[in-house]
């Protein structure tokens, strides 16, 4: 059994992965969502019996607030008793040719201080070094207790190096520096969503073939992305990774496995369904029946209609698109006529507090 829950994490990611048998289950947490996610995450974790509050791994994919803020609150909590065998997080010290110095009171550095002061295991599977691809080496593979196999697909040294000179700028832009509040004007001028299409049904052919312009955020490019495999099931969990690096890694995987396309059981869309993070080229490299979208559309009105249209047109036969919220920006995809005519299915969380579960 493998089960993935996309918790309601606002416009961010908070993924709970459970695997194993009924009498022996193992857990991995990927990101903690926004600061507001913590209340729901805490409630979910508190349901676990005390003896089951150990996780094999916590992955904090990158420094953006909608991924790291809730994880900070989790690690600062002194009462739940949640422990981890390892925590994957690339801090400032893991950027190439970087001295061990602090940037000040920002969330990335708060997390660094927590990991050091409380002696949490930090990138133990990588001998304390950066969680990244290595030049002239195979894709790193980590086997977790219980049989979960994780293959790292992102980031590489180049993506981490690109982040280094822009670290301070990016964390301020992401709202991580309490001395530099997020620019409200930026929040109120997001990319268009379906709501901006005038309330009509999306033109799938036009949207799917719109020109593709890749995400240029260096913070997103540094995202940790993994292929998780258990008992024949495969999940591609992408953080906010850039599609160009995912494509490069998937091509390497396909060469090794001699598969024409990478067979998946589910893909968590990179960057919450941004049109700049899901390309037709990426979709043509995979064989996947399910696509997972984690966002309530706040700030950036994700998912972009172009991204969902690409799934509908190029994402395989009768793809299922699962949303962990139903919002003004994604509800049009639930139109029954649209689903029949284009051969896909849209599935939504029952309510804004439930998230959505995938059991395989």
- State yes or no: pLDDT of 265 exceeds 90: yes
pLDDT of residue 189: 42
**SS3 assignment, position 41:** helix
pLDDT of residue 100: 46
Residue span of the structural domain in which 168 resides:
2-359
Domain count along the chain: 1
CB 150 within 8 A of CB 142: yes
pLDDT of residue 289: 98
Residue 189 to residue 207: CA distance in whole angstroms: 21
pLDDT of residue 202: 92
With cut-offs at 50, 70 and 90, classify the pLDDT of residue 181.
very low
Which of 59, 229, 19 lies closest to 155 in space, CA to CA? Answer: 59
Q: What is the mean pLDDT of residues 62-78?
A: 92
pLDDT tens by residue, 18-29: 999 888 999 999
* Dihedral of the alpha carbons of 99, 105, 107, 111, in degrees to the nearest 10: 60
Q: What is the DSSP string of 122-181?
A: BSGGGTTS-S---TTSPPPEEEETTTEEEEEEE--HHHHHHHGGGHHHHHHHTT--TTS-
How far, CA to CA in Å, does 265 sit from each of 152, 199, 252, 291, 297? 17, 32, 19, 9, 25
With cut-offs at 50, 70 and 90, classify the pLDDT of residue 104.
very low
Mean pLDDT of the chain: 89
**SS3 assignment, position 345:** strand
**SS3 assignment, position 285:** coil
Specify the CATH number for the domain of residue 87: 3.60.15.10
Q: What is the mean pLDDT of residues 154-170?
A: 84
- Give how far the C-alpha of residue 342 lies from the chain's centroid of Cα atoms, to the nearest Å: 27
pLDDT tens by residue, 285-302: 999 999 999 999 998 999
């Amino acid at each position: 059994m493998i089960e993935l829950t996309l918790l309601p994490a606002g416009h961010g990611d908070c993924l709970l992965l459970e695997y194993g048998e009924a009498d022996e289950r193992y857990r991995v947490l990927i990101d903690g969502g926004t600061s507001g996610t913590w209340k729901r995450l805490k409630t979910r974790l508190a349901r676990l019996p005390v003896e089951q509050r150990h996780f094999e791994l916590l992955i904090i994919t990158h420094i953006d607030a909608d991924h790291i803020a809730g994880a900070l609150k989790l690690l600062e909590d002194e009462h739940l008793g949640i422990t981890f065998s390892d925590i994957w997080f690339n801090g400032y010290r893991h950027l190439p040719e970087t001295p061990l110095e602090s940037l000040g009171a920002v969330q990335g550095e708060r997390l660094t201080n927590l990991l050091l002061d409380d002696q949490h295991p930090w990138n133990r599977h990588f001998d304390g070094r950066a969680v990244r691809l290595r030049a002239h080496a195979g894709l790193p593979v980590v086997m977790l207790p219980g049989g979960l196999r994780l293959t790292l697909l992102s980031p590489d040294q180049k993506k981490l190096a690109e982040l280094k000179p822009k670290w301070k700028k990016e964390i301020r832009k992401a709202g991580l520096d309490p001395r530099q509040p997020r620019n409200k004007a930026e929040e109120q001028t997001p990319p268009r969503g379906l709501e901006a299409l005038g309330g009509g049904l999306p033109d799938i052919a036009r949207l799917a073939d719109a020109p593709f312009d890749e995400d240029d955020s260096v913070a997103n490019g540094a995202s940790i992305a993994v292929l998780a495999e258990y008992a024949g099931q495969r999940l591609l969990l992408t953080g906010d990774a850039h599609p160009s690096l995912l494509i490069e890694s998937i091509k390497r995987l396909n060469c090794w496995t001699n598969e024409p396309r990478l067979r998946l059981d589910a893909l968590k869309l990179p960057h919450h369904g941004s049109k700049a993070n899901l390309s037709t080229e990426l979709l043509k490299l995979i064989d996947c029946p399910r696509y997972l979208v984690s966002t309530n559309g706040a700030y950036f009105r994700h998912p972009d209609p172009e991204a969902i249209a690409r799934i509908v047109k190029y994402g395989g036969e009768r793809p299922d698109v699962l949303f962990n919220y139903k919002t003004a920006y994604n509800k049009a995809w639930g139109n029954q006529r649209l689903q029949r005519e284009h051969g896909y299915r849209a599935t939504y969380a029952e309510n804004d507090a439930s998230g959505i579960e995938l059991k395989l």
